[in-house]
């Protein structure tokens, strides 16, 4: 399916969205095109608050700081990643959202260990195996690859229990011109489900700027407020991982077309910069990449590298240009250095104003065992992959 064939229509307003689904042969079929969507920007529904008890906890980092302040009424830890390990590897990942230390006490037989009562929302991210016979529990302050250690525990009371998933949040397609299969679904919505499709978000030039998976179950449909034979269609499940309303300005900027100037991401905070990186990864319908370029010199503008998302924005711009993708966290960045993303070592990278990132990321530790900061880890990875890094 060619996007250009469907990105225009003879109406007084533009096509802004295409709904497409792959058939059994992997061929994309158009299900509809729309003038607008309500419900694309939605903050995730927070999980219900629960009480967990960390048993035999040896605190570190942020948790250690929290327990060392007895006069603080409630100490928020933010989002906490909880990894469940067997003898060698993590086998389960949990997110404790907006975790708060409610109470704690030292264990009588070992004052260095604590039983810590937390209030938090609990979300199971991924589980490969059942709970090991003798698990250990690792805590990290934050949920990114750069999260710092917050301690380890011997048990977590209240973690492993059945939980009900929150109800899906609907999405409404405004001014939709449905193709045949979607049209059938709008005529008998209560009995009709057809899996999932991709909602392609178009910029003002008709190019894809983002893609989002949505459910095709139709709750209802009616003649559109925009008239002219169009429909307004309510999808029962608008999908997970929708962008937050707070990042609308970034999407509005990208709607004008891919960024043409460097450092357009710099004015935003970490959430905005992460949203910027999302758009570099989601605009996946770019022309096929040319063979990787090696050799030569690249220059990284380090003036605005004050957080991890900003670091990856700056690296991608230095190597490929504005709005391009070259990893959004350590593991993805390592994959990109392996080739297939437009640039491959060896080459020389001159990092201007590198001291800005060195200071800003000094306390962001990727691997607590080696103790290197995120900045140092990135430089070391560059050099191990054959990149000559010149820090200025």
pLDDT digits (tens, 9 = 90+) for 90-122: 889 999 999 999 999 999 989 889 999 999 999
- Quote the tokens at residue 134: 């003798």
**Band of residue 7 on the pLDDT scale cut at 50, 70, 90:** very high
Most confident of 54-68, 245-259, 364-378: 245-259
pLDDT at 354: 97
pLDDT at 72 over 80: no
pLDDT at 187: 62
pLDDT at 99: 94
**Band of residue 230 on the pLDDT scale cut at 50, 70, 90:** very high
pLDDT at 189 over 70: no
pLDDT at 192: 57
pLDDT at 288: 52
pLDDT at 293: 92
The whole-number average pLDDT for the span 54-60 is 94
Higher-confidence residue of 128 and 107: namely 107
Q: Which H or E run contains 282?
A: helix 270-282
State how far the Cα of 100 lies from the Cα of 86, in Å rounded to an integer: 26
Q: What percent of the chain lies above the pLDDT cut of 70?
A: 92
pLDDT at 183: 73
pLDDT at 157: 95
State how far the Cα of 7 lies from the Cα of 16, in Å rounded to an integer: 8
State how far the Cα of 39 lies from the Cα of 245, in Å rounded to an integer: 10
Q: What percent of the chain lies above the pLDDT cut of 90?
A: 65
What would the pLDDT profile of 342-351 be if each residue is shown by its tens digit?
999 999 999 9
**Band of residue 2 on the pLDDT scale cut at 50, 70, 90:** confident
State how far the Cα of 261 lies from the Cα of 23, in Å rounded to an integer: 38
Q: What angle do CA 161, 167, 172 make, to 5 degrees?
A: 155
**Band of residue 193 on the pLDDT scale cut at 50, 70, 90:** low
- Which of 325, 279, 270, 14 lies closest to 142, judged by CA? 270
212, with CB counted inside 10 A (0-12, 13-18, 19+), is buried
Higher-confidence residue of 205 and 73: namely 205
What would the pLDDT profile of 130-174 be if each residue is shown by its tens digit?
778 889 999 998 876 667 889 999 999 999 888 888 889 999 999
pLDDT at 383: 96
Reported as half-sphere exposure (CB side, CA atoms, 13 A), residue 318 has a value of 25
What's the mean pLDDT when you consider all of the chain? Answer: 89
Contact call for residues 32 and 175 (beta carbons, < 8 A)? no
pLDDT at 195: 86
Crossing angle of the two packed helices 330-337 and 374-384, in degrees rounded to 10: 20
- The DSSP string of 131-172 is PPSS-EEEEEEBSSTTPEEEEEESEEET-SS--PPPPPPPEE
pLDDT at 254 over 70: yes
**Band of residue 312 on the pLDDT scale cut at 50, 70, 90:** very high
State how far the Cα of 13 lies from the Cα of 175, in Å rounded to an integer: 10
What would the pLDDT profile of 375-388 be if each residue is shown by its tens digit?
999 999 999 999 99
- Quote the tokens at residue 69: 């302040």
What would the pLDDT profile of 271-311 be if each residue is shown by its tens digit?
999 999 999 987 555 555 568 899 999 999 999 999 999 99
């Amino acid at each position: 399916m060619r996007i250009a064939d469907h990105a225009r229509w003879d109406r007084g307003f533009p096509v802004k969205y295409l709904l497409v689904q792959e058939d059994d042969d992997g061929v994309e079929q158009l299900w509809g095109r729309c003038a607008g969507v309500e419900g694309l920007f939605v903050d995730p529904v927070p999980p219900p608050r629960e009480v967990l008890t960390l048993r035999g906890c040896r605190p570190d980092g942020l948790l250690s700081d929290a327990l060392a302040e007895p006069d603080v009424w409630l100490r928020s830890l933010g989002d906490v990643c909880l990894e469940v390990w067997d003898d060698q590897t993590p086998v389960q990942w949990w997110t404790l959202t907006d975790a708060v230390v409610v109470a704690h006490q030292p264990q009588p037989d070992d004052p260095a260990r604590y039983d810590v009562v937390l209030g938090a929302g609990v979300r199971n991210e991924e589980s490969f195996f059942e709970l090991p016979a003798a698990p250990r529990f690792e805590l990290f302050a934050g949920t990114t690859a750069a999260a710092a250690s917050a301690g380890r525990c011997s048990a977590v009371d209240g973690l492993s229990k059945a939980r009900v998933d929150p109800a899906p949040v609907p999405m409404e397609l405004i001014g939709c011109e449905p193709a045949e299969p979607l049209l059938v679904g709008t005529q008998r919505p209560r009995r009709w489900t057809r899996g999932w499709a991709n909602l392609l978000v178009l910029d003002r030039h008709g190019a894809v700027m983002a893609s989002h998976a949505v459910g095709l179950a139709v709750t209802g449909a009616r003649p559109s407020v925009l008239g002219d034979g169009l429909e307004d269609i309510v999808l029962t499940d608008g999908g997970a991982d929708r962008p937050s309303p707070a990042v609308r300005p970034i999407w509005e900027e990208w709607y004008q077309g891919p960024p043409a100037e460097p450092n357009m991401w710099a004015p935003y905070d970490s959430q905005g910069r992460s949203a910027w990186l999302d758009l570099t990864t989601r605009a996946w319908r770019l022309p096929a990449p040319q063979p990787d370029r090696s050799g030569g010199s690249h220059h990284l503008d380090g003036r605005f590298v004050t957080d991890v998302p900003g670091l990856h924005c700056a690296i991608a711009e230095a190597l490929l240009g504005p709005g391009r993708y070259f990893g959004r966290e350590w593991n993805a960045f390592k994959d990109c250095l392996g080739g297939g993303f437009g640039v491959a070592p060896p080459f020389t990278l001159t990092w201007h104003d590198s001291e800005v990132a060195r200071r800003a990321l000094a306390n962001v530790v990727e691997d607590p065992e080696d103790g290197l900061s995120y900045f140092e880890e990135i430089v070391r990875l560059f050099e191990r992959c054959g990149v000559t890094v010149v820090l200025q």
